[in-house]
Amino acid sequence: MKATSDRKTWQITDYIVLIVLSTAFTFFTKTVALAQGPTPTDDEVNRIAKQLYCPVCESTPLDVCPTEACRQWRDVIRTMLAEGKSEEEIKQYFVQQYGARVLAEPPNRLVSYLVPAVAILLGAFMLFRGFRMWMKPSKTESSLEGATREAKPVQDPYIAKLEEELKKQK
């Protein structure tokens, strides 16, 4: 726990310098960059925006969010794409700038998937233990079971008739 938090702070301090420099740089070179490469299409922007969530409008993916803040974010993606940044770099930039909640999934996948997986496996284990417990005494009762099964159709005469018909067919 300690180690990870240390690493986090290292990343951040490291990043602050980077951000201040690079964003200043991007600001001044924005127009130039746009003129340089082909302008990224809306589809290219949306492909990345789809995977991001803006904290201002929770639960709405960035590509369909109509708010002003989200429009600005899409512009940032466009600018970064024009600069030749990769998808991963762009997502990383947003995480560092606005926190992990911009991602559609918690960054630590291990925790988010492990807990439900363990709970489900535990449930499955309990269920199969239950099966075995139920089935153990069945040897002595199996004849009885067979009898009840034979007798059961009495509850629903129609089903009995139906099953019989089916047998005849075979």
CA distances, 122 to each of 5, 40, 72, 110, 117 (Å): 31, 48, 46, 17, 8
Does 10 engage in binding with another protein (CB under 8 A)? Answer: no
Does 97 engage in binding with another protein (CB under 8 A)? Answer: yes
CB of 9 to another protein, least distance (A): 10
Q: List, in sequence order, every beta strand (DSSP E) within the chain.
A: none
C-alpha span between 114 and 103 (Å, rounded):
19
Q: How is residue 84 annotated by DSSP?
A: T
Residue 53's Cβ-count burial label (10 Å; 0-12, 13-18, 19+) is buried
The two structure tokens encoding residue 19: 């951000």
Site size toward another protein, by CB under 8 A: 81
Residue 33 and residue 85 in contact, taking contact as beta carbons nearer than 8 Å? no
Does 18 engage in binding with another protein (CB under 8 A)? Answer: no
Residue 53's nearest CA partner among 99, 108, 109 is: 99
CB of 84 to another protein, least distance (A): 18
Between 53 and 83, name the residue whose CB sits nearer to another protein: 53
Q: Which of residues 31-50 bind another protein (CB under 8 A)?
A: 41-43, 46
Q: Build a one-symbol-per-residue string for 130-149: x at contacts with another protein by CB under 8 A, - elsewhere.
A: xx-xxx-xx--xx--xx-xx
CB of 115 to another protein, least distance (A): 6
CB of 34 to another protein, least distance (A): 12
Q: Which of residues 54-93 bind another protein (CB under 8 A)?
A: 54-61, 64, 66-69, 72-73, 75-76, 79
Between 6 and 56, name the residue whose CB sits nearer to another protein: 56
Of 29, 34, 98, 160, the one binding another protein by CB under 8 A: 98
C-alpha span between 28 and 170 (Å, rounded):
83
